[in-house]
Chains A and B, each alone.
Chain A
Amino acid sequence: MDTIVTDRTNDRATARPAGVPATATIRTAEQPSGKRTHDRPAFRSKLGSAFAMFRNGKSIAGLSILGFFVLVAIFADVLAPYSPTAVDHTARFQPPSAEHWLGTTHIGEDVLSQVIHGTRGVIVVGFLAAIIATLIAIVVGVMSGYLRGWRSESLSALTNVFLVIPALPLIIIVASMFEDPPLAVVAGVLGLIGWAWGARVLRAQTMSLRNRDFIQAARANGEPLRRIITVEMLPNLMALIAASFVGTVTAAILALTTLSYIGVIPVTTYNWGTILNWAGAQGAFRQNQWWWYLPPGLCIAAIGVALSLINFGIDEYVNPRLRSAGERARAMKKKGMNVNDTVTVVRPTATPSNPNEETP
C-alpha cells in the first residue's frame, strides 16, 4: 500500500538521458512500449520479459527473505525443536538458553517452536488472501477498464465503495460472526474485502492500454475478447499485478496478525499475532520478557521488509526514473558533478574526461 503506481509509467517511452533537452530526441505521436517491437513476439517471451522486474537487486533480496520464511513454514515440523504445545512446568518464563533458544512462555512452551509453527498460518493466509483478492481485482479491474459505458461505470463504483469503506472495522464485524474459522475462511474474508485497491490500479492501466495501437489492431483483426485480454493485455499488466499481489500479501499478513492480537480471530490458531496476544495477556510487556514478544514482531517486520523490497524492485522497473535517479546522482557525484545543479559545469579539459578518473 505504500507503493503508489502512477499512470506516468507510459512516459517511459520518452525517457531520455539525463540532462539532454527534449528536442534531442524525436517526439512522435506514437508511444511504443519501451521493450516491445511492433511485430508480435511470442507470448512466452513477452511473459519472460515481464518477469524481468524481479531481476534487480532489491527484488532478489526481498524474494530471498520471503523464500526463507516459506521454507520455514513448509518444514515447520522438522525445524521446530519441540512441539509448540509441549508444556513444561519446570521451565516457565525462562530467558533464552541452550535448550530453549528463545526462552519459554508462562507454561513452559518453547517460544522458538511456536514462532516457527506460527509461520505457517501467516504464509498460508497471506498468500491465499492475496490470490483471492488479486484474482477478483484482475477480473473486475480489467473488465471495467476494457468495457465502456454503464458496465464499466458500475464496476468502478463497486470498486470505489469497497475502497472507501473502512476495512478493519468491517473485517472485525464479519470475523466476529464466526466461532472458530479455519484458515481458509479467514483468508477468504480478507481477500473478499481487500481487492479494491488492485482493481482500481488495473482499471486505470487497462483503460490507457485499450487505446494503444496494438490493441486496436487486434480488435480490427477480429480477435476474440478472451484472447485480447489474456494474450495482449495481461503481459503488459504483469508488473502492476505483481505489485498489487505483493502489496496485498503485506496487508493480509498485517491484518491477520492484528486481528489475532486483538482476539477477534480465535486464539486456537497459531500465528505470530496470537503469540503476541498470549504474551500481552500474560503481562510479558510489563515484565520485560523480551524473548517472548520481540521475535514474533520482528518476524512480521522482516516479512514486511521483504515484501516492501520486492515492491520497490517492481516500482523501479516500472518507473525507470526512480531507479536511476538516486544511483545516477551518486555516480555523478563521484565525478564531481551535482545532478541538482541548475548551471552547467565548466570543466576545461583537452579530451572528454575519462570516466575512471577521479576529478580533483
Chain B
Amino acid sequence: MTAVQPQSHTQETETRADLPSGSETDAVEAGTTATRATRGRSRIPWRFLGGRAVFYLFTLWAAITINFFLPRMMKGDAVTQYLSRNRNVSPEAADALRSLLGLDTDKSLWQQYVDYWALLLRGDLGVSLLHGLRPVTEVIGQSLPWTIGLVGFATIVSFAIGTIGGAIVGWRRGSRLDALIPITTFLSTIPYFWLGLLAIALFSVNLGWFPIGKAYGVGMSPEFSPEFIGQVVHHGTLPAATIIIASLGGWMLGMRNMMLTVLDEDYVMVAEAKGMPRKRVLWGYAARNAVLPQIQSFALSIGFIVGGTIVMEMVFSYPGVGKLLLDATNAKDYALMQGVFLVITLSVLLANLLADVAYAFLDPRTRQTEA
C-alpha cells in the first residue's frame, strides 16, 4: 500500500505565478494545483482505486501461480497414491484433478499452466474426495457464509470498539484509562486458540452457558427461522467474543498512538483556539485524522485475521472454510486444500479492496488529480 502515503510534501513556499505583485488577481486563474482541480473534478478517486485494483489483480495472479507450483514442488508419489486410492472418480474429474495437482507431467509446463487457468476460469476446482466427490466449489460454497459471518462480524465489532476506545484513551492522556492499553495488549499476545479453549473450558464445560462447538444444534438444518437464528447466535457468541477480545488490543494501541501524534498537530490547536467544543475537536478533527492509518493497517491485517479465524473454527468446530482447510489437510485432500486457499486469498483481496475504497473516501488527499 505504498501508494497511499498522504501527500505531505506540498509546496512550502508560494510560487511566483500565483500573485503578480500589486494586482488583485483571482487565484483561480493563476497556474496553481488547485486550478485544474476545480474544473471538472470528479469526487471519485479513479486513479487511486484503479492503481489498487491493478495491484490486487497482480497479487491474485501471483497467488494462483504459487498455487500452481506448490503441488508440483512436492514429491509426486503422495498425490499419485492419493488418486489411485480413490477409483470412483469420473474421467473428467480425474483429468481436472491431475491438472490441478500437477500430475499431468506429460504436457509441457506452459501447457499445464494454460490448462490450469482454463479450469479456474471455468470455475472448476476439482472434486473433493473427502466430501464424497462433490465439486470443491460446492463444498466451499456451503462453508464460506459461516466464516464470513463470524469473521466479518467479529472483526468489525473489534475494530470499532478498539478504534473508538483508542481515540478516547489517547484523548485523555494520563487518565486511569491508560491502564486499558497494557491489559488489552496482554490479551492479544495470548494465542487465539488457547483463549478459545479456555473460554470453552470455563463457559461451556464448567458454567454451561454456551454450547461447546458447532454453529447450530445437532439435528437442525439451516433455515431462516427464529429458532435457527437463535441457535446460531447462541453458538456463535463464544467464538465471536474470543476473537473480539483477542484482537481488541491491537486496534486500541494503534489508534491511541495515532491520536497522540495527531493531537500535537497544528490544526488541533487551531480548532481549540476557535472555541470548538471538546467533543467536536476530539471526533471531528483529531479522531477523523487518526483513523486513516488505522484503516490502512486494517487492510493489511486482514490476512492475519483470517489466519486467526481458521484456528478458531477448529477449536469450536465451527463449520467454516477454516475447518474445511484443516480437515482437508489431515485427510490430504489436496484439491480441496488448494481450492480453499484460493477462495480465502480471493476474499482477502476483495476485503482489501473494500478497505481501500473506504480509505479513499475518507482521505480527500487521494483525490489529487495532479500527478
- In contact, B192 and A286 (Cβ under 8 angstroms): no
Query: CB < 8 Å: which of A4, A167, A296 contacts B304?
Result: A167
Residue of B nearest to A164 (CB): B59
Report the minimum CB–CB distance from A309 to chain B (whole Å): 9
Is the C-beta of B249 less than 8 angstroms from some C-beta in chain A? Answer: yes
Known: A160-B55, A172-B325, A172-B326. A333 touches B62 (CB 8 A): no
Mask: chain A, 283-312; 1 = CB below 8 Å from B; 0 = not:
001101010010011001100110110001
Chain A residues, CB < 8 A from B228: none
Known: A262-B326, A263-B330, A288-B205. A297 touches B174 (CB 8 A): no
Known: A2-B249, A6-B258, A322-B260. A329 touches B307 (CB 8 A): no
- In contact, B173 and A329 (Cβ under 8 angstroms): yes
For chain A residues 247-297, which have a beta carbon within 8 Å of chain B? Answer: 250, 254, 257-258, 261-264, 276, 280, 285-286, 288, 290, 293, 296-297
- In contact, B189 and A326 (Cβ under 8 angstroms): no
Interface of A is mostly: helix
Mask: chain B, 300-326; 1 = CB below 8 Å from A; 0 = not:
111110111011001000000000011
- In contact, B306 and A168 (Cβ under 8 angstroms): yes
Is the C-beta of A330 less than 8 angstroms from some C-beta in chain B? Answer: yes
Is the C-beta of B201 less than 8 angstroms from some C-beta in chain A? Answer: yes
Is the C-beta of B115 less than 8 angstroms from some C-beta in chain A? Answer: no
Is the C-beta of B194 less than 8 angstroms from some C-beta in chain A? Answer: yes
Chain B residues, CB < 8 A from A293: 197, 201
Known: A164-B303, A342-B272. A258 touches B197 (CB 8 A): no
Report the minimum CB–CB distance from B36 to chain A (whole Å): 26
Chain A residues, CB < 8 A from B250: 1-2
Chain B residues, CB < 8 A from A24: none
The stretch that binds B, out of A90-98, A130-138, A173-181, is A173-181
Is the C-beta of A124 less than 8 angstroms from some C-beta in chain B? Answer: no
Known: A173-B338, A319-B261. A168 touches B310 (CB 8 A): yes
Is the C-beta of B297 less than 8 angstroms from some C-beta in chain A? Answer: yes
Chain A residues, CB < 8 A from B194: 276, 296-297, 300-301
C-alpha spacing A50/B78, complex, angstroms: 51
- In contact, A280 and B190 (Cβ under 8 angstroms): no
- In contact, A288 and B206 (Cβ under 8 angstroms): yes
Is the C-beta of A204 less than 8 angstroms from some C-beta in chain B? Answer: yes
Query: CB < 8 Å: which of A254, A333, A342 contacts B278?
Result: A342
Known: A163-B300, A169-B310, A322-B260. A2 touches B191 (CB 8 A): no
Is the C-beta of B97 less than 8 angstroms from some C-beta in chain A? Answer: no
Chain A residues, CB < 8 A from B348: 164-166
- In contact, A250 and B189 (Cβ under 8 angstroms): yes
Among A3, A161, A305, A333, the one with the most B-chain Cβ atoms within 10 Å of its Cβ is A161
Mask: chain A, 39-76; 1 = CB below 8 Å from B; 0 = not:
00000000000000000000000000000000000000
Chain A residues, CB < 8 A from B12: 29
Is the C-beta of B28 less than 8 angstroms from some C-beta in chain A? Answer: no
Chain B residues, CB < 8 A from A225: none
For chain B residues 19-76, which have a beta carbon within 8 Å of chain A? Answer: 55-56, 58-59, 62-63, 66, 70, 73-74
Residue of B nearest to A321 (CB): B260
- In contact, A285 and B197 (Cβ under 8 angstroms): yes
- In contact, A203 and B261 (Cβ under 8 angstroms): no
- In contact, A297 and B307 (Cβ under 8 angstroms): no
- In contact, A2 and B201 (Cβ under 8 angstroms): no
Chain B residues, CB < 8 A from A170: 66, 341
- In contact, B329 and A165 (Cβ under 8 angstroms): no
Is the C-beta of A8 less than 8 angstroms from some C-beta in chain B? Answer: yes
Is the C-beta of A104 less than 8 angstroms from some C-beta in chain B? Answer: no
Chain A residues, CB < 8 A from B171: 340
- In contact, B325 and A285 (Cβ under 8 angstroms): no
- In contact, B329 and A264 (Cβ under 8 angstroms): yes
Is the C-beta of B215 less than 8 angstroms from some C-beta in chain A? Answer: no
Is the C-beta of A157 less than 8 angstroms from some C-beta in chain B? Answer: yes
Q: How many interface residues does A have (CB within 8 Å)? A: 69
- In contact, A325 and B260 (Cβ under 8 angstroms): yes
Chain A residues, CB < 8 A from B260: 321-322, 325
Chain B residues, CB < 8 A from A204: 2, 5
C-alpha spacing A305/B188, complex, angstroms: 9
Is the C-beta of A339 less than 8 angstroms from some C-beta in chain B? Answer: yes
Is the C-beta of B349 less than 8 angstroms from some C-beta in chain A? Answer: yes
Is the C-beta of B152 less than 8 angstroms from some C-beta in chain A? Answer: no
Query: CB < 8 Å: which of B2, B257, B344 contacts A160?
Result: B2
Is the C-beta of A212 less than 8 angstroms from some C-beta in chain B? Answer: no
C-alpha spacing A307/B185, complex, angstroms: 11
- In contact, A326 and B311 (Cβ under 8 angstroms): no
Chain A residues, CB < 8 A from B308: 168
Mask: chain A, 199-215; 1 = CB below 8 Å from B; 0 = not:
01001100000000000
Chain B residues, CB < 8 A from A304: 189-191
C-alpha spacing A264/B189, complex, angstroms: 22
Report the minimum CB–CB distance from A339 to chain B (whole Å): 6
Query: CB < 8 Å: which of B55, B174, B314 contacts A339?
Result: B174
Chain B residues, CB < 8 A from A200: 2
Is the C-beta of A13 less than 8 angstroms from some C-beta in chain B? Answer: no
Is the C-beta of B198 less than 8 angstroms from some C-beta in chain A? Answer: yes
Is the C-beta of A156 less than 8 angstroms from some C-beta in chain B? Answer: yes
Is the C-beta of B345 less than 8 angstroms from some C-beta in chain A? Answer: yes
Report the minimum CB–CB distance from A268 to chain B (whole Å): 16
Is the C-beta of A139 less than 8 angstroms from some C-beta in chain B? Answer: no
- In contact, A285 and B200 (Cβ under 8 angstroms): yes
Query: CB < 8 Å: which of B189, B249, B257, B314 contacts A4?
Result: B257
Is the C-beta of B264 less than 8 angstroms from some C-beta in chain A? Answer: yes
Query: CB < 8 Å: which of A166, A285, A322, A325 contacts B303?
Result: A166
Is the C-beta of B337 less than 8 angstroms from some C-beta in chain A? Answer: yes
Chain A residues, CB < 8 A from B340: 169
Known: A8-B261, A204-B2, A262-B311. A169 touches B189 (CB 8 A): no
Which B residues are closer than 8 A to A by beta carbons? 1-2, 5, 12, 55-56, 58-59, 62-63, 66, 70, 73-74, 78, 171-175, 178, 185-186, 188-194, 197-198, 200-201, 205-206, 212, 249-250, 253-254, 257-258, 260-261, 264, 266, 272, 278, 293, 297, 300-304, 306-308, 310-311, 314, 325-326, 329-330, 332, 337-338, 340-341, 344-345, 348-349, 352
Contact sample, A vs B, 6 pairs, CB 8 Å cutoff: A166-B348, A276-B194, A326-B173, A330-B174, A339-B174, A340-B171
